[in-house]
Amino acid sequence: MQNSNKTEVKKTKTSKSKVNLQPVRGTRDYLPEKQIFREQAMEKIKRIFEKYGFVPMQTPALEYASVLGKKYGEEEKLIFKFKFGDEELGLKYDQTVPTARVYAANRQTLGAPFKRYVLDRAWRGERPQAGRLREFLQCDIDTLGTYSLAADAELLACANEALAAIGLTNFTWRISTRALAENFLKSCGVADVKLQAAMRAIDKLDKIGEEGVAKELLEKGIGQAAVDTIFSLLKFKGDFDKIRSTIKIDPSVEDALLKFISYLDEFGVKNYTLDLSIIRGLDYYTGPIFEAKAPGFKGTIAAGGRYNHLIELFSGVEIPATGLTIGLDRILEFLKFESKKTKTALYVVGIGKDVIPLVQKFRAEGIPTDLDLMARGLKKNLDFANKRGIPYVAIVGQEELSKGKIKLKEMSTGKEELLSFEQIVAKLRALPQ
Amino acid sequence: MQNSNKTEVKKTKTSKSKVNLQPVRGTRDYLPEKQIFREQAMEKIKRIFEKYGFVPMQTPALEYASVLGKKYGEEEKLIFKFKFGDEELGLKYDQTVPTARVYAANRQTLGAPFKRYVLDRAWRGERPQAGRLREFLQCDIDTLGTYSLAADAELLACANEALAAIGLTNFTWRISTRALAENFLKSCGVADVKLQAAMRAIDKLDKIGEEGVAKELLEKGIGQAAVDTIFSLLKFKGDFDKIRSTIKIDPSVEDALLKFISYLDEFGVKNYTLDLSIIRGLDYYTGPIFEAKAPGFKGTIAAGGRYNHLIELFSGVEIPATGLTIGLDRILEFLKFESKKTKTALYVVGIGKDVIPLVQKFRAEGIPTDLDLMARGLKKNLDFANKRGIPYVAIVGQEELSKGKIKLKEMSTGKEELLSFEQIVAKLRALPQ
């Protein structure tokens, strides 16, 4: 009996210590310093999106599984789907399919062209061992309702500025069009029925390398000669003249590509290069496609393309559209970040004195102010303010206060001054935000 | 054969028209005008939270089901849970349990007291017919690591300012403490083992009314005499002297309540009333509890309380904490909202002229600018800018431009002026944001 009790106690302890304190694999907790940085970045990106005329629109995290099943192709297996009661629900895999649903439902109200942005999370059931995030923040811009390739080019100009605003300038857009990719593969000898399979294989070039792609192409029944031609032409990256001299580019395909490029030039986008290996994984792209890569950055910084047939799945009528996504969480990992630990400017400590009404007075003046809630001694409070990164501490003693003064300590220098309430307010208001 | 083909076509059409364009029941799409208003409200609330010394921290939407199972009590059945591969996952039901997990994992780094805020969604599998949201935005503040009831009072002061910032001032906090509620019920004759059940029943007062609560109390085996006493005392709301003259309040219970109230006074919180019927549904509350209600507002505007034992479930050691949630989405439904449709200040139309480089020049000056992407005529473009709520249209003609001038039309008045690029920039910069 005693023995069994002992085991009982042990079990409880074991189960307590076994509580998993880590976030779900592939997701992250954002502690204050990182979250402040993240929110600053989001704020900067939003301002640029708005400067380009995009307006915010947000859709739920939850969607009906039938909506999420639209047009993702192979990626569908990565959708977090579940049954809840009698409903089949899931978490959105990207912002594009929900946007298509909302636009189809509201296009009379929203009009055309409709330029919207969203900063929201998406969820993908990636294998955690691959180091990929399963919950991540996307910054999306989309222009719906126009065939004009100026809309596509504008997306890149806007993303260039948004990325520059958060400190990322050393990157290049690899551009192509879906038609060019098809034209290229056909010229290399890939049969029409095998185009989709070939594109999916080539899309994995960054992930599995030339050898892996070649293997997959052969497995899909594409002949060795075609595979050899594909890789010899992929080496021409960027050099459109060389590509044209080797394979026959359809005039309409060339026109669309050159039109897109001329718009890029008009919008002042210079950091692009033609790349036949750009395919974009999702099946829904129809026109220009683009991916931004940076030296040392594993994966894609931003990517997108034109998807003229996606909204039709919801609306029943063709509605042209083009969009672009910036994968912010991975970029913020890549950038060296320097962030404030807090926005609090002042920490108030009372020496044997309750300071709450004074703290409220500082706050009423708009000064971000915190106070000692633990009735700790002065040294502990100074250490605390220092650790929190609060730049100033107000030390409030009965004697000074009776003279209308408060001692203000600047934490970075240790300098102390006897100042009035108004003087402290004026000083802290003048601090850089 | 032909017949069967016809059926095939019909089927496709039917299935197309049957696509559900609505968001998941209990969730919402936020179209631009509403989303702009929502983001403005979030921004204002964040600024107030920061003024009170709270720092942002964010946790994932996804949590392990084992984490979500901690301490929700009856509410657990409302959690969206699902199996993905071999993992049991779920969507967070509130911000408090994930916060407890993160603080338990990082308390050496985060220190005490730790004041954090978050504006994030939570998900609950509410029955849609009740009109409750299943995906909604919470604005939370929590102070972790201190027993001081000043921390609890500070939450209400901060929430008062945050709600005032978005235009909500006509509301009252109903306050109580868990100990007072227990003291009250025991004095009414409720046995210790039935306290929890009695509190859950009384917590439903707003939803099911006196009759419903009485029925539930009787069903739980609480005697008619006790039930009668409970309801006669509930009528004393707010009048602490009357309550004290009728039932015996334990001195330590009274001390804690009066301490909380004195802190409310010091923080300048005046809009509160004592209310014995306040229980708060979740099992994890231990100290002061509070709910804000407004006339005409169905449900709770903001609510929270002290939860000194929740973090212990993750950390193994007791860590005191108190927190408060503002349910923003329901408040924004309640407030009459007036919001800009766009932040775009200028719409540029070229008369037989490509205007992209000029648009880029306006944007480079920081003017939120949009352009005609559809090559439409002037009248259609003016209608479009009007519908979008863009205040100014620049009409760019070859002749004017050769003289260094652009025609600027103010949409609200119809007034047109010939101005230089620099004059337009200066004029639009001076606009109120």
pLDDT at A145 over 90: yes
Task: Give the residue from B16, B40, B58 with the most A CB atoms within 10 Å of its CB, the best one to mutate.
Answer: B58
pLDDT confidence of residue B281: 63
Residue B242: both structure tokens together: 């009357």
DSSP-assigned states of every residue in A266-301: HTT---EEE-TT---SSTT--SEEEEEE-TT--S-S
pLDDT confidence of residue B282: 60
pLDDT confidence of residue A73: 64
Of B55, B65, B139, B133, nearest to B95 by C-alpha is: B139
Averaged confidence pLDDT in chain B:
89
pLDDT confidence of residue B129: 67
Residue with tokens 């449709």: B341
Q: What is the mean pLDDT of residues B75-94?
A: 89
Please list the residues that pair with A289 across neighbouring strands: A176, A305
Q: What is the mean pLDDT of residues A197-214?
A: 87
**What sign results for the dihedral spanned by CA atoms A184, A187, A191, A193?**
positive
pLDDT confidence of residue A10: 36
pLDDT at B3 over 80: no
pLDDT > 70 fraction of chain A, expressed in percent and rounded: 93
Residue B59 is nearest to which of A23, A134, A146, comparing CB atoms?
A23
pLDDT confidence of residue B245: 85
Averaged confidence pLDDT in chain A:
89
The architecture CATH gives domain B32-334: 2-Layer Sandwich (3.30)
Residues of each domain in chain B carrying CATH 3.30.930.10 = 32-334
Contact in structure between A84 and A323 (CB atoms under 8 Å) = no
For residue A342, the SS3 value is coil
Residue B368 is nearest to which of A51, A109, A125, comparing CB atoms?
A51
Within 8 A of A122 by CB-CB distance, chain B residues are none
d(CA A175, CA A209): 19
Q: Which residues contact A5 (CB under 8 A, 6 or more apart)?
A: none
> 3-state SS string over A52-95?
CCCEECECCCEEEHHHHCCCCHHHHHHCCEEEECCEEEEECCCC
pLDDT confidence of residue A12: 38
Task: Give the residue from A58, A266, A314, A387 with the most B CB atoms within 10 Å of its CB, the best one to mutate.
Answer: A58
Q: What is the mean pLDDT of residues B340-355?
A: 90
DSSP state of A30: B
pLDDT confidence of residue B18: 61
Whether B110 contacts chain A with CB within 8 A: yes
Residue B324 pLDDT grade (very low, low, confident, very high; cuts 50, 70, 90): very high
- By C-alpha distance, the chain B residue nearest A40 is B56
If one compares A155 and B4, the residue with the highest pLDDT of the two is: A155
| Most confident by average pLDDT, A142-156, A335-349, B67-81 | A142-156
Report phi then psi at A345, rounded to 5.
Answer: -100, -25
Within 8 A of B30 by CB-CB distance, chain A residues are 56-59
Contact in structure between B53 and B150 (CB atoms under 8 Å) = no
d(CA B216, CA B230): 13
Residue A232 pLDDT grade (very low, low, confident, very high; cuts 50, 70, 90): confident
Name the helix (H) or strand (E) containing A327. Answer: strand A321-327
Subunit contact A109:B316, Cβ cutoff 8 A: no
Task: Give the residue from A17, A51, A355 with the most B CB atoms within 10 Å of its CB, the best one to mutate.
Answer: A51
pLDDT confidence of residue B215: 93
Q: Which residues contact A327 (CB under 8 A, 6 or more apart)?
A: A136, A137, A138, A299, A300, A301, A302
pLDDT > 90 fraction of chain A, expressed in percent and rounded: 66
d(CA B270, CA B264): 7
pLDDT at B107 over 60: yes
Residues of each domain in chain B carrying CATH 3.40.50.800 = 346-429
pLDDT at B77 over 70: yes
Q: What is the mean pLDDT of residues A96-111?
A: 95
pLDDT confidence of residue A120: 98
B-contacting residues in A 301-330 (Cβ below 8 Å): 313-314, 316
Whether A265 contacts chain B with CB within 8 A: no
Contact in structure between B398 and B352 (CB atoms under 8 Å) = yes
Give buried/exposed letters for A263-291 (b at 16+ CB in 10 A, else e). bbebbbbeebebbbbbbbebbbbbbbbbb
pLDDT at A110 over 90: yes
How distant is the Cα of B190 from the closest Cα of chain A, in angstroms?
A: 31
Residue B35 is nearest to which of A57, A87, A388, comparing CB atoms?
A57
Q: What is the mean pLDDT of residues A328-357?
A: 88
How distant is the Cα of A181 from the closest Cα of chain B, in angstroms?
A: 26
How distant is the Cα of A51 from the closest Cα of chain B, in angstroms?
A: 4
Largest pairwise CA distance in chain A = 92
Residue with tokens 């919470």: B138
pLDDT confidence of residue A282: 60
d(CA A248, CA B174): 77
Residue A71 pLDDT grade (very low, low, confident, very high; cuts 50, 70, 90): low
B-contacting residues in A 37-56 (Cβ below 8 Å): 38-39, 50-53, 55-56
Residue B73 pLDDT grade (very low, low, confident, very high; cuts 50, 70, 90): low
pLDDT confidence of residue B74: 64
Q: How many CA atoms lie within 13 Å of B283's alpha carbon, on the beta-carbon side? A: 12
Residue B354 pLDDT grade (very low, low, confident, very high; cuts 50, 70, 90): confident
Q: Which residues contact A286 (CB under 8 A, 6 or more apart)?
A: A178, A305, A306, A307, A308, A309
Burial of B7 (0-12, 13-18, 19+ CB in 10 A): exposed
pLDDT confidence of residue A395: 96
Subunit contact B58:A30, Cβ cutoff 8 A: yes
Residue A143 is nearest to which of B58, B316, B373, comparing CB atoms?
B373
pLDDT confidence of residue A281: 63
pLDDT confidence of residue B252: 93
pLDDT at A160 over 90: yes
Residue A321 pLDDT grade (very low, low, confident, very high; cuts 50, 70, 90): very high
pLDDT at A23 over 60: yes
d(CA B269, CA B263): 9
Of A271, A72, A311, A298, nearest to A175 by C-alpha is: A271
Subunit contact B373:A113, Cβ cutoff 8 A: yes
Helix axes A149-165, A32-51, angle to 10 degrees: 140
Contact in structure between B181 and B278 (CB atoms under 8 Å) = yes
pLDDT confidence of residue B330: 87
Name the helix (H) or strand (E) containing A392. Answer: strand A392-396
d(CA B235, CA B180): 16
pLDDT confidence of residue A7: 32
d(CA B244, CA B184): 10
> 3-state SS string over chain B?
CHHHHHHHHHHHHHHHHCCCCCCCCCCCCECHHHHHHHHHHHHHHHHHHHHCCCEECECCCEEEHHHHCCCCHHHHHHCCEEEECCEEEEECCCCHHHHHHHHHHHHHHHCCCEEEEEEEEEECCCCHHHCCCCEEEEEEEEEECCCCHHHHHHHHHHHHHHHHHCCCCCCEEEEEEHHHHHHHHHHCCCCHHHHHHHHHHHCCHHHHHHHHHHHHHHHCCCCHHHHHHHHHHHCCCCCHHHHHHHCCCCHHHHHHHHHHHHHHHHCCCCCEEECCCCCCCCCCCCCEEEEEECCCCCCCCEEEEECCCCCHHHHCCCCCEEEEEEEHHHHHHHCCCCCCCCCCCEEEEECCCCCHHHHHHHHHCCCCEEECCCCCCHHHHHHHHHHHCCCEEEEECHHHHHCCCEEEEECCCCCEEEECHHHHHHHHHCCCC
pLDDT at A75 over 80: no
Largest pairwise CA distance in chain B = 93
Of A16, A109, A39, A13, nearest to A328 by C-alpha is: A39
If one compares B387 and A237, the residue with the highest pLDDT of the two is: B387
Of B339, B360, B351, B353, nearest to B382 by C-alpha is: B351
Q: What is the mean pLDDT of residues B34-52?
A: 96
B-contacting residues in A 168-227 (Cβ below 8 Å): none
From first CA to last CA, the distance across chain B in angstroms is 65
Helix axes B32-51, B149-165, angle to 10 degrees: 140
Subunit contact A24:B64, Cβ cutoff 8 A: yes
How distant is the Cα of A150 from the closest Cα of chain B, in angstroms?
A: 7
Subunit contact B82:A80, Cβ cutoff 8 A: yes
Report phi then psi at A246, rounded to 5.
Answer: -100, -45
Q: What is the mean pLDDT of residues A89-115?
A: 95
d(CA A57, CA A117): 6
- By C-alpha distance, the chain A residue nearest B43 is A43
Residue B311 pLDDT grade (very low, low, confident, very high; cuts 50, 70, 90): very high
- Classified by CATH at the fold level, domain B346-429 comes out as Rossmann fold (3.40.50)
How distant is the Cα of A236 from the closest Cα of chain B, in angstroms?
A: 31
Residue A18 pLDDT grade (very low, low, confident, very high; cuts 50, 70, 90): low
Within 8 A of A32 by CB-CB distance, chain B residues are 55-57, 110, 116
The ipTM, to two decimals, is 0.90
pLDDT at B14 over 80: no
Residue A61 is nearest to which of B116, B121, B341, comparing CB atoms?
B121
pLDDT confidence of residue A199: 87
Count H helices and E strands in chain A, helices first: 17, 16
Q: How far is CA B417 from CA B155, B366, B367, B401, B414, in A?
A: 52, 21, 18, 13, 10
d(CA A401, CA A420): 9
How distant is the Cα of B416 from the closest Cα of chain A, in angstroms?
A: 22
Whether B345 contacts chain A with CB within 8 A: no
Q: What is the mean pLDDT of residues B250-279?
A: 93
d(CA A90, CA B123): 13
Q: Which residues contact B58 (CB under 8 A, 6 or more apart)?
A: A29, A30, A35, A38, B118, B120
Residue A4 pLDDT grade (very low, low, confident, very high; cuts 50, 70, 90): very low
Report phi then psi at B370, rounded to 5.
Answer: -125, 165
Subunit contact B360:A134, Cβ cutoff 8 A: no
CA B118, chain centre distance (Å): 10
pLDDT at B422 over 50: yes
Please list the residues that pair with B302 across neighbouring strands: B292, B326
How distant is the Cα of A226 from the closest Cα of chain B, in angstroms?
A: 37
